[in-house]
Amino acid sequence: MPPFLLPRQPLRSLDEYFATDVGGLGLKRAVDLGPEATVTEILQSGLRGRGGGGFPTGRKWRGVLDQGGTHRYVVANGAEGEPGTFKDRALMRANPYQLVEGLIIAAFAVGAREAFLCLKASFEPELEAVTRAVTELQDAGVCRDCRITIVRGPDEYLYGEEKAMLEVIEGKPPLPRLLPPYEHGLFATAPQTGWQATENEPGHVGRHESNPTLVNNVETLSNVPHILARGADWFRSMGTEESPGTVVATVVGDVVAPDVGEVELGTPLRAVLDAVGSGVAPDRQVKAVFSGVANPVVPERLLDVPLSYEGLQSVGSGMGAAGFIVYDDTACMVEVARQFSRFLWIESCGQCPPCKLGSGEITERLGRVEAGVADVSDMREIGAWLDKVTDGNRCFLAV
C-alpha cells in the first residue's frame, strides 16, 4: 500500500499540492455534495479519530451539525503532547495543505463560522508550515468565507485535551472545563461552567448561546480531503472493517532507528515496530510496549496483535495516538511505571483532588518499591488509590 498521508518528500507549495490527485478536489466534491451528504460520506468511510479516543468522525460531525444554535466552530488539535508521539508534527511538516483543506471541509460540513488551528508555540517548523498553507489557500480563494486563526498554545500536556484547548483559545490557562465541546463550545455564554465566566460576544443579542464546537485531531482532518476526493469505498479498501484506512505510527524507545511511518491498519504490531522503528537491537528482546502513557502495557507475547482499535482493545490495551514506546529486556518495569505515574502527577491540573493527590501518592509509593524499601502497606495504598484516582474526573488524564 503506497502511503498517501505522509509523502516521502515534503510539499513545499500550494502548486505542488494542487498537482497531486487530491489537492483541492476534496473541497470541490464537498461543495458539490452539500453539508449533509459530506457528513454522510465521512460517516460511511468509517474514519475514526486519531487523537487517542478513536471516536467515529462522521458521528462527531453529525452531532455538531444537529445541535441547535447559530454559532458553530471547528478546532484542529495539533498540540501533540502524548509522550512517544510525533506523527502530527511529521504530517504538518510533510503536507500542511491536506490538513488545512480538511479543516475547511469540516467547517463547511458543520456550518462553522470560524476555524482554529491549535499548535504549541514551541512547534516552530510546524507553525511555519501551517502559516504558509493557510496564507496560500486564503490567497487562492480556497478558504471561501471560512476564517482560520492559528493559535500558539502552551507546552502543558493538558493543552491537547479538547476542553482545555477551548479555554486556551479563549485566552485562559489549559484547565479542562466541565462540559464537552459540542455542548459548551467556544465563547459559549450558556451555561457558565468554565473556570472564569465568559462575556457575551459584542453585538450578541437574544438567548445565550452554547456554540457547539467540533474538535478533531490533525491526522483525522488530514484524511478528510482524500476521503472526499476518492470516496468512502476507496478508504474502506484499506485496513479492517472496524478500523479502515491507514495510521501514522511513531515508534520510539529501545529500537534501532526511532521514526514515524504510515502503515495500513490491521498490520501486526510486531511488523510495525520493525517497519517503522527497525526493531530492537539484534542481541536484545522486546519486554514491553506502551501506546502512550495512558494505555495498559502490551507484553512481548501479545505483539502479533493487529494494530487496530479492536485489536489492541482485545489484548486489554488501546491504540492511543499510535505512538509506541518500546522497552527491551534491560528495562525495569517498576521504574517505567513510576516515570509514567510521575508524568501524570506533574501534568494533572488539580481541579479534581483524587487525580492530583492519587497520582502523587502512587508515584511516591512506586518510588519506594523501586528503591527496595516498600512494604505491603505501600502496595495496598497503590491499589486503593488506583480504585479512586478517577473519582469525579473532569477529563481523561486520570483514567
Q: Which residues bind ligand SF4 (CB under 6 A)?
A: 158, 176, 348-352, 355-356, 393-395, 397-398
Distance in angstroms (rounded) separating the CA atoms of residues 343 and 361: 13
Instruction: In angstroms, give the least distance from the CB of 192 to ligand SF4.
Output: 18
Distance in angstroms (rounded) separating the CA atoms of residues 396 and 399: 5
Residue 313: name its binding partner from ligand SF4, ligand FMN, none (Cβ under 5 to 8 Å by kind).
none
Which one of the spans 25-33, 36-44, 96-104, 215-223 is the region binding ligand FMN (CB under 6 A)? 215-223
- Binding status of residue 397 toward ligand FMN by CB under 6 A: yes
Instruction: In angstroms, give the least distance from the CB of 47 to ligand SF4.
Output: 27
* Residues 58-117, interacting with ligand FMN (CB under 6 A): 60, 77, 79-82
Sign of CA dihedral 147, 102, 81, 134: negative
Residue 49: name its binding partner from ligand FMN, ligand SF4, none (Cβ under 5 to 8 Å by kind).
ligand FMN
Report the relative pairing of strands 114-120 and 298-299 from DSSP bridges: unpaired
Which residue of 157, 309, 340, 385 would you call a contact of ligand FMN, by CB under 6 A? 157
* Residues 334-393, interacting with ligand FMN (CB under 6 A): none
Instruction: In angstroms, give the least distance from the CB of 276 to ligand SF4.
Output: 30
The set of residues, in sequence order, having a beta carbon less than 8 Å from that of 196 and lying 6+ positions away, is: 172
Instruction: In angstroms, give the least distance from the CB of 174 to ligand FMN.
Output: 10
Instruction: In angstroms, give the least distance from the CB of 351 to ligand SF4.
Output: 4
Total residues at interface with ligand FMN (CB under 6 A): 24
Distance in angstroms (rounded) separating the CA atoms of residues 159 and 79: 7
Residue 53: name its binding partner from ligand SF4, ligand FMN, none (Cβ under 5 to 8 Å by kind).
ligand FMN
Question: 380: which 3 cell numbers?
Answer: 495496598
Distance in angstroms (rounded) separating the CA atoms of residues 108 and 54: 22
**Cβ neighbourhood burial of 267 (10 Å; 0-12, 13-18, 19+):** buried
CB-CB contact of 151 with 182 (8 Å): no
Find cell 479542562 and name the residue: 176
